[in-house]
Amino acid sequence: MNDIALSLQGLYKSFGAKVAVADLRLDVRAGSMFGLVGPNGAGKTTTLSMATGLLRPDAGRAVVLGADVWADPAAAKALMGVLPDGVRLFDRLSGRELLRYVGLLRSVDPRLIDTRSGELLDALGLSEDADNLVVDYSAGMTKKIGLACALIHAPRLLLLDEPLEAVDPVSGETIRAILRSYVAGGGTVVLSSHVMELVENMCDTVAVIAQGRVLAAGTLDEIRAGESLQRRFVDLVGGKQLDEEALSWLRSS
């Protein structure tokens, strides 16, 4: 019924004099794997925060499968699974307790929570540490348990901020497989990253943002236009050539 899984309409956010996101417009088709790329400080996390109800936009709307995040938060949030970046988890709970907590907050049937959390922990290689406190997890494990938390209620839309950061290659492959099968089953993924290889490998649609604006959006092939995504990205954002003589003192010989 809804072709567009996530629609960001003229989002605007400034912190004091600094404009973080300016008139950002983006539509994510349902069933796509959408990559949001941009340099550091481009406004990726700010944008995702506004789309998930963490940060109130100064202007504009965020609509999830027809539900406005800021007008009808309950409906919109029920459809979304979110993996935020730079946010603590309730890390004095064990991995299993945390999953159960998230499941219960989302009103998932307790029996379903048990089976799902078992499967998720198993798939992500966390079974052995399921009863350890999350505060003792490594960065990669924390990312993985965060992803499990985003998946436990089988959302229609996944918003993932830097999903593979600090994750080892084996788990990374597992996560990619999970996300691919999720999209194949009709789900929609929006992931932000500055790892071009990941986006090129995973995503069918890409948007490049910098300084709070969408510089380019379209299918992966449209965006890279025959070149590598890395190359196009640097061109779009405006890369900086390192001068021959710069930082010469760093060479030890």
Partner 1 sequence: MVAVLVRLKLTLLKNALLRSVLKVVGLVLGGLYGLGVIAASYAGFVALRGYGSVELISGVTVLAFSVVTLGWVLFSVLVSGIDETLSPAKFALLPVSAPRLQPGLLVAGLLGIPGIATTVVALGLVVAWSGSVASAVAALLAVPLGVVTCFLLSRLATDALAEMLSTRRFRDLAVVALALSGVGIAIGVNVVAQGVGTDPAAWGASLEQGAEVAGWTPLGWAWAVPASVAQGQWLAAAARLLLAVALVVGCWLGWRHFLQRRLTSPLESRSGSGKVRPGGAVDRLFGTSPKGAIAARSVRYWRRDPRHLANLASLVVLPAMVVALQFVQPDPQDVVIVLAPLTISLILGTVAAYELAYDGSALALHVHTGVRGRDDRAGRLLAVAALVVPLLIVVVLVCVAVAGRWDLLVASLAMTFGTALVVSGVASWISVFWPGHAPPPGGNPFGKGSSGGVEGLLSFVLITGVSIVVSAPVLAAGIASLFVDGLEWLALGLGLGIGAAVVAGGVLLGGRSLDRRWPEVMRSVTALET
Q: Give me the 143-162 binding string for partner 1, x by CB under 8 A, dash otherwise.
A: ------x-------------
68 is an interface residue for partner 1 by CB under 8 A: no
Stretch that binds partner 1, among 99-107, 172-180, 181-189, 237-245 (CB under 8 A): 99-107
Distance CA 149, CA 146 (A): 5
CB burial of 27-48 (b: ≥16 within 10 Å; e: otherwise) equals bbebebbbbbbbbeebbbbbbb
Q: Which two tokens stand for residue 74?
A: 């309950």
Write down the least CB distance from residue 28 to partner 1, Å.
18
Q: Which of 3, 10, 41, 54 binds partner 1 (CB under 8 A)?
A: 54
234 is an interface residue for partner 1 by CB under 8 A: no
- The pair phi, psi for residue 202, each rounded to 5°, is -100, -40
With respect to partner 1, which residue has the nearer C-beta, 102 or 199?
102
Footprint on residues 123-142 left by partner 1 (CB under 8 A)? 130-133, 135-136
Distance CA 231, CA 224 (A): 8
Q: Which of 59, 71, 105, 184 binds partner 1 (CB under 8 A)?
A: 105
Write down the least CB distance from residue 110 to partner 1, Å.
5
84 is an interface residue for partner 1 by CB under 8 A: yes
88 is an interface residue for partner 1 by CB under 8 A: yes
- Name residue, tokens 């029920």: 78
| Contact yes or no for 150/82 (Cβ under 8 A) | yes
Q: Which of 87, 139, 154, 177 binds partner 1 (CB under 8 A)?
A: 87
CA 9 to chain centre: 19
Q: Which of 3, 10, 90, 225 binds partner 1 (CB under 8 A)?
A: 90
| Contact yes or no for 123/174 (Cβ under 8 A) | yes
**CA triple 52-57-59, angle to 5 deg:** 135
Distance CA 229, CA 108 (A): 40
177 is an interface residue for partner 1 by CB under 8 A: no
Three-state DSSP class for residue 208: strand
Summarize as ranges the residues that interact with partner 1 (CB under 8 A).
Answer: 52-56, 73-74, 76-78, 80, 82, 84, 86-94, 96-97, 100-102, 104-107, 110, 130-133, 135-136, 149
